[in-house]
Structure 1
Amino acid sequence: MSSMKRCMHDRARGIPTLLAGALTLALALTGGPATAAQQGTAIAAQQGSLHELAVAQGKYFGSATDNPELTDAAYTAILGSEFGQITPGNSMKWDTTEPVQGQFNFAKGDVVTDFAAQHGQTVRGHTLVWHSQLPSWVGALPSAQVEAAMTRHITEEATHYRGAVTAWDVVNEPFNEDGTFRTSPFYTAMGSDYIATALRAAHAADPDAKLYLNDYNIEGLGAKSDAMYTLVTELLDEGVPLDGVGMQAHLAVQYGFPYQMQANMQRFADLGLDVAVTELDVRMALPADAAKTTTQSGYYRQVVEACLAVERCVGITVWDYTDKYSWVPSTFPGQGAANLYDENLAPKPALSAVRTALGGADDGGDDGGEGGDPGALKAQYRNSDSSVGDNQIKPGLQLVNTGTTAVGLSDVTLRYWFTAGSGAPDYRTWCDWSPIGCNTVTHRVVAMDTPKAGADHYLEVGFGSGSLAPGASTGEIQMRLNKSDWSVFDESDDYSHGSGTSYADAPRIAVYVDGEQVWGVAP
């Protein structure tokens, strides 16, 4: 353990006494009980900021911000003390900095860089070239004039912020979901060469700034991240200045966690590139509940753990730290609660999960016994039956321990929700095969007291004995169930049913420890 880490752990052990003093001070200053936000700030002050914890791990921890919220004193108090890096959400984009061709205005961006300078923070510039938030004059340019306009814009802005910005998202979101290049005025005029041209212009204007390509849905292995990998490999082979890849990480609890995120980060790092998580948030369908909040905390924790495991993952930025200023509700109607702090600036469970992942709290766990951290369990699923209308349901399940301590299995259960339809009310269940032995797997069907959309029964799978080591999986558990009269099911709208034939994280299959839900979203 480094001396810095040892110091932080020693300080953490003294939290109860110090926290009491901090809360007493808050009470004295306000003349009344400390608010949840004040209590959270006091706790954070004693544990060390997120950025300090990240620095002890060789990373940074930052937040996006924007000009309107910089007038909120309570907000800026946390922004200025908890985070070591900030990214302007909008004030450096093209529609703000060059609304009229040749007329530049950096006033809003300067407010952000000034704030950062006053608080000892670095700034990630965002963004020089993007298909969105472009002033109309850019799209109206003849194709022959686009390259010159783009190069001038990059040169003017990167030169203005030379020394104030340490890294740039030079090109933002160049790909469609299938890995093809996104259409934009720049791609239409120059083809994919616009990316190399933009990177060279940014490097010429500010040779000391780190230059990134940034996109969403490239956090895990897949077509879009493969396209990014191919692009950056070609750019490096051509000698184009490029320092890293930004993975936005706008995640959602109703979707699986990015597939093989750590491995995906590592393959970019193996090219000699830095990797950064640039816009992290984890949204959910509202209203929030305990199950969604648990899944959200797990996703935040897994992102941090993936970054910590990859040496060249340089840091994490959340896309603003509070629900009060989140972009999610206006972009995804009916969704929100995506950030580490709520709309009243009070800490949420996700913040605790991040602190713990960064090594900032002693959770009282053992050193490898079978108690473990139940919050580190997750369920994965694949569809083992191509028909949604036959007389059996055949889910493939596996349990994964993403934590650092072993977990005893005897108190663990998984629930797969389905609809019964017509037919006999009693069921037969089987474990057909599992590497841990079907004799250790328990299973039954339970009727729900209150049916929900896509669910009036669930298959509950448990374990008679055993433990799951850190980083280990049970391997495939091939389950099967039918009604006693072999009548058919309609799985097409079942809550937990999916069409994927390869194992992936399954937030609609819940995991329970001693009856307490630790993973997934119940119907």
Structure 2
Amino acid sequence: MTRLVLLASLLSITACAAAPGDGPDVEYVRPVVVAEHPVALDNPQEETVVWPIWGGAFTPDEPVSIRAVLAPGGAGASGLVIAGPGEPEARAAVELTADGGAWALRERAGDEVIQERTIAAPAPAELVVTVDGAAVEVRAGDAVTTLRLAAPLAPAGEAAGLYVHLDPGATLELREIAMSQALPAAPELGTPLRELAEARGIEFGSAIDIWPPLHDLGFEALLAEQFSAAAPTELYWATTRGEDRDYFFVPADLSINYATVHGQAVTGMFLVWDFELPGWVTELGESGDAEALGAVFDEHITTLVSRYRGKVDAWIVVNEAIWGPDETGDEFAEYAWSIWSDVLGVEFIERAFRTARAADPEAVLLYNETGAEALGLKSDFMHEMAADLVARGAPIDGIGLQFHVDAAAPPDLDDVRANMERIAALGLDIYITELDVSIAGTDAAQLELQADIYAGIVGTCLAVPACRSTTVFGFSDRYAWDELGDAAPLLFDADYAAKPAFRAVQRVLEGGDRGRSARRSNATSATSSSRG
């Protein structure tokens, strides 16, 4: 329980820390960015970036104070945006930005500036922003600037959210952000999964999209309360490096910050995969220039792993590099064709692990595969590959088994356990990385079947000491993987009501003590005590 005790002790400090001029009654009970882990953002793109801050949703039905210590810089304006619901071109918003050391507060309706005020404060500055109905007040030391809004930020009962604003070439250091409104609690759910999992010696995590659900307090609250690990699903090329070849880290930085604040270990998905590669990388592969492609390959891995050293606990280094019978259409398995295997040879797998280890000697390094959860031709091939990597001294620490399960054809759990145990015999750990269970409708029988399958898979992980973590591929059907359609595959329904699957996993995790410690997060946590 070490991480949870630390959570509570840091919170008690944060909740009592009121900034000068706040007034005696303001308590900042929800950290959004903690001073021990500031977030340094930059925008190398040619367009202005306005990106949501994970953990920054709130309801402005009551007065809400936001304490922000910000250091803007670079070649353009940067700062915070408080925006209501709706599309960017139509929503109400208030911008608080600085350019050249001068702060401005402006109200917008879409692209139109409704009104603007200058704020007498240096940059960097400590600012207190209070949203109270149709007014926004900014306090900088003894100076107070108020905007009487032409329209409220959000209709009654709906949420607004915090964003960062970065003009092209701008930088912004978020040194600390805290809010007076706590995340909503859900005591009716009982003991959170993260606490039960920690007592059993494993982590229980959720994959998260790089773009958070906008202004969704239910999502942000459950993610913080229930899960001890987070896996941002788009740390791969499509988000971190696009067609202009410049790295773009704002989304990843903000999602990893959320995990840091809430004491969640982070698994980075994915360093090497052939999905949605930028055109210039594909063209380089098609040229057959192994030296040039290899240099880009090495540089990409090194850049990501070095940037998040000490923040990302584990990396899925290589994802889905094997084809089994489902992919080959025949009764055999082989290495998958990709630009990596075609140009660099299958040695790219070992190369990726060695490059990642050189960039971070402490991170857990994983190979991740789908359709290889139980005994079979694909898992046989994967086991042979892993055994060869281990024999060659490659720095592989574990195997990720995805577990995208169709409830009509679940894997045999005896075979799953046998597969896990033979992986463990190689000296490797096992991580369940993308668990979901698709069902055909949501009648009681289907929901109970789903619950049984979830419980069986989590129970199998608990039965194998080398199984260190279970991560679900999202937790609410509201945001289920698009390819699954209406398969209702997750632990909570679209309204965040706990499904029988959640209760079944909870019961399995309540079953006793495994007598060992889970992998620890590098994060220092400071989540709200109101989360239970």
How high is the TM-score relative to the length of structure 2?
0.58
Residue 225 (structure 2) aligned to one of 58, 78, 81: 81
Aligned residue in 1 for 2:483: 331
Partner of 1:56: 199
Compute the displacement of 1:148 (Å): 1.2
Deviation at 1:315, TM superposition (A): 1.0
Confirm or deny that 1:355 pairs with 2:506: yes
C-alpha RMSD of the superposition? 2.4
Which whole-Å CA distance do the structure 2 matches of 1:89 and 1:258 have between them? Answer: 27
- Residue in 2 aligned with 1:253? 407
Look up the SS of the partner of 1:293 in the other structure: helix
Tell me, what secondary structure is at the counterpart of 1:76?
helix
Alpha carbons of 1:186 and 1:339: their partners in 2 closer, same or farther (altered >3 Å)? same
SS of the aligned residue for 1:129 comes to coil
TM-aligned CA distance change 1:116 to 1:332, over 3 Å? closer
Residue aligned with 1:61, SS: strand
Q: Tell me the amino acid that sits aligned with residue 117 of structure 1.
A: T
Partner of 1:433: none
**Aligned partners of 1:48 and 1:360 also within 8 Å:** no
Deviations 1:427-449 (CA, angstroms, capped at 9, x unpaired): xxxxxxxxxxxxxxxxxxxxxxx
CA distances 1:469-515 after superposition (whole Å, capped 9, x unpaired): xxxxxxxxxxxxxxxxxxxxxxxxxxxxxxxxxxxxxxxxxxxxxxx
Question: 2:73 aligns to what?
Answer: none
Q: How far apart in 2 are the matches of 1:351 and 1:311?
A: 23
Secondary structure of 2:439 counterpart: strand
Residues 322 and 342, structure 1, Cα contact 8 Å, conserved in 2? yes
Q: Which amino acid aligns with 1:82?
A: Q
1:280 partner SS:
strand
Q: What is the CA distance between 1:267 and its match in structure 2?
A: 0.8
Q: How does 1:27-106 map to 2 (within 5 A)?
A: 41-44=186-189, 47-66=190-209, 67-69=211-213, 71-90=215-234, 92-100=235-243, 102-106=245-249
The residue type equivalent to 1:41 in the other structure is A
* Counterpart in the other structure of 1:155: 302
Distance 1:172 1:164, change over 3 A: same
Q: 1:377 — aligned with what?
A: none
Q: Secondary structure at the match of 1:338?
A: coil
- How many residues are matched? 323
Aligned to 1:477: none
| Aligned ranges 1:360-399 → 2 under 5 Å | none
Residue 106 of structure 1: how far off its partner (Å) = 1.1
Q: Which has the higher contact order (CA 8 A, sep 6+)?
A: 2
State how far apart, in whole Å, the 2-side matches of 1:266 and 1:138 are: 38
Given that 1:40 and 1:347 are in contact with CA atoms closer than 8 Å, whether structure 2 keeps it comes out as no
Partners of 1:177 and 1:224 within 8 A in 2? yes
1:138, CA displacement in angstroms?
1.2
Deviation at 1:284, TM superposition (A): 1.6
Give the whole-Å Cα distance in 1 for the aligned partners of 2:426 and 2:200.
22
AA aligned opposite 2:308: Y
| Matched residue, 1:270 | 425
Q: 1:262 to 1:40 in 2, by over 3 A?
A: farther
The answer to whether the 8 Å contact 2:302/2:356 transfers is yes
For residue 130 of structure 1, give the secondary structure of its aligned residue in structure 2. coil
* Structure 1 unaligned regions, length at least 5: 3-28, 33-37, 362-523
Q: Deviations over 1:123-181 (max 9, x none)?
A: 10000000112111111103322211111100111111111100000000111123211
Maintained 8 Å contact 2:432/2:469: yes
Which string of whole-angstrom CA distances, capped at 9 and with x for unpartnered residues, describes residues 413-460 of structure 1? xxxxxxxxxxxxxxxxxxxxxxxxxxxxxxxxxxxxxxxxxxxxxxxx
Larger radius of gyration, structure 1 or 2? 1
Alpha-carbon shift at residue 43 of structure 1 (Å): 2.3
The residue that corresponds to 1:122 in the other structure is: 265
Alignment of 1:175-324 (within 5 A): 175-178=322-325, 179-258=333-412, 260-285=415-440, 287-324=441-478
1: CA distance between counterparts of 2:478 and 2:496? 7
CA contact (8 A) 1:70 1:76 kept: no
**Is the 1:274–1:313 Cα contact (8 Å) retained in structure 2?**
yes
User: What code does the residue aligned with 1:153 have?
Assistant: H
More helix, by proportion: 1
Q: CA deviation at 1:249?
A: 0.5
Partners of 2:267 and 2:483 lie apart in 1 by 23
1:447-466 residue pairs with structure 2 within 5 A? none
Deviation at 1:101, TM superposition (A): 6.2
Residue 40 (structure 1) shift: 9.4
1: distance between equivalents of 2:232 and 2:218? 18
Structure 2: give runs of 5+ residues left out of the alignment: 2-61, 63-156, 158-182, 326-332, 513-532
Q: TM-score, normalised by structure 1?
A: 0.59
3-state secondary structure, aligned to 2:271: strand
- Output the CA distance in 1 between the equivalents of 2:456 and 2:318: 27
Does the aligned pair in 1 maintain the 2:207–2:474 contact within 8 Å? yes
